[in-house]
Amino acid sequence: MMLTKKFPKVTLAHTPTPLEPLPNLSKALGDINIYVKRDDCTGLAMGGNKARQLEFYIGDALAKGADTLLTTGAVQSNHVRMTVAAARKLGLDVEVQLEKRVPDREAIYYESGNPLLLKLMGATIHYYPEGEDEEGADRALEERAEALRAVGKKPHVIPLSGNHTPFGALGYVDCAEELLEQFAEQNLDIAAIVVPSGSAGTHAGLLAGLKARGSKIAVHGVCVRRDQYAQAQRVYKKACVVAEMIGYPSCVLLDDARLDDRSLAPGYGQLNAVTREAIRMCAEHEGVLLDPTYTGKAMAGLIQMVRDGVFAAGDNIVFLHTGGAPALFAYPELVEKLANH
């Protein structure tokens, strides 16, 4: 991986992750060829895209002498789970902050899935009351970091908002290069890649990495938290920063930030009919498990794009599976709905 070689990095992810065809799902959807990039198989604490990102976040933290990691995320955050796992693997102290982003959930939502795994790993957990206040959540982390410094610790904050250097996105610059190698090895002409788009680190890093290597493959982000207009600005801004970091300024254009928000409503982490259908189809046709917050909505977006003719007949489309299966256990109503479909 040459584009990111100058940045400090630790090893957390099992890479390269597989690139596999989904023939049964492809047949069910018609004249299209869908492949899945299995970043749910990165290996760290049940896997997911954050393993690649944390390699650079923690590389930066250790280069600065940190002994404690702090980060924030939603109650069912995959990033928070994997940050705790990475800290345990590397012998670092870790404190995490959980935000309430999803309304009207039963008690099981707060006790199973990712929260259960946090407790199993012995995480120190704090809570932040607002779910849509990224800057406030980051400020709360910084306040906790100051308290830790006062007692001699060397904390490092992995922030949430888009106003910080996106070291984690470098993990998906690496993934972009990995994918291009796999496409060449398998002799695949890929028309597009579809990815969940939330914090935008994965989307922006992938886009910048592909553009830096001269690839014309379209990257379609499916919105999981914001509408497509707001998310396009976030992705573009972050991708431009990443492109500058890796020495390819101006390789990303605003038009490259393609977003689709049709599977977002009623909001982050909330189920809808198209997401239920996507989760069911992948489970029943391929034995591939998707979560309601990220990958389920991203696959729902892909399915809608196929049905709306966004892709041409016979196109090869890659779905980036970013993990998140632990969150399935927080949505028992999903199984009840699927059992009666």
Catalytic residues: 77
- Among 68, 117, 125, 82, CA closest to 100: 125
Cβ atoms of 279 and 248 within 8 Å: the answer is no
- Cα separation of 252 and 233, whole Å? 12
- Cα separation of 161 and 93, whole Å? 22
Compute CA distances 72 → 35, 139, 195, 270, 297, whole Å. 32, 11, 22, 20, 22
Write out the two tokens for 254: 């605003």
Cβ atoms of 92 and 67 within 8 Å: the answer is yes
Neighbours of 270 (CB within 10 A): 18
Residues 6+ apart with CB under 8 A from 231: 197, 200, 221, 223, 225, 257, 259, 261
Q: What is the DSSP string of 248-302?
A: -TT---GGG-EEE-TTTTT-TT---HHHHHHHHHHHHHH-----TTTHHHHHHHH
Give the H/E segment covering residue 86. Answer: helix 78-90
> 316-321 and 33-38: which strand pairing?
parallel
* 3-state secondary structure at position 6: coil
* Residue 168 DSSP code: G
Cβ atoms of 115 and 337 within 8 Å: the answer is no
Give the H/E segment covering residue 93. Answer: strand 93-99
Q: Which residues of 132-168 are buried (b: 16+ CB within 10 A; e: fewer)?
A: eebebbbebbeebbeebeeeeeebbbbbbebeeebbb
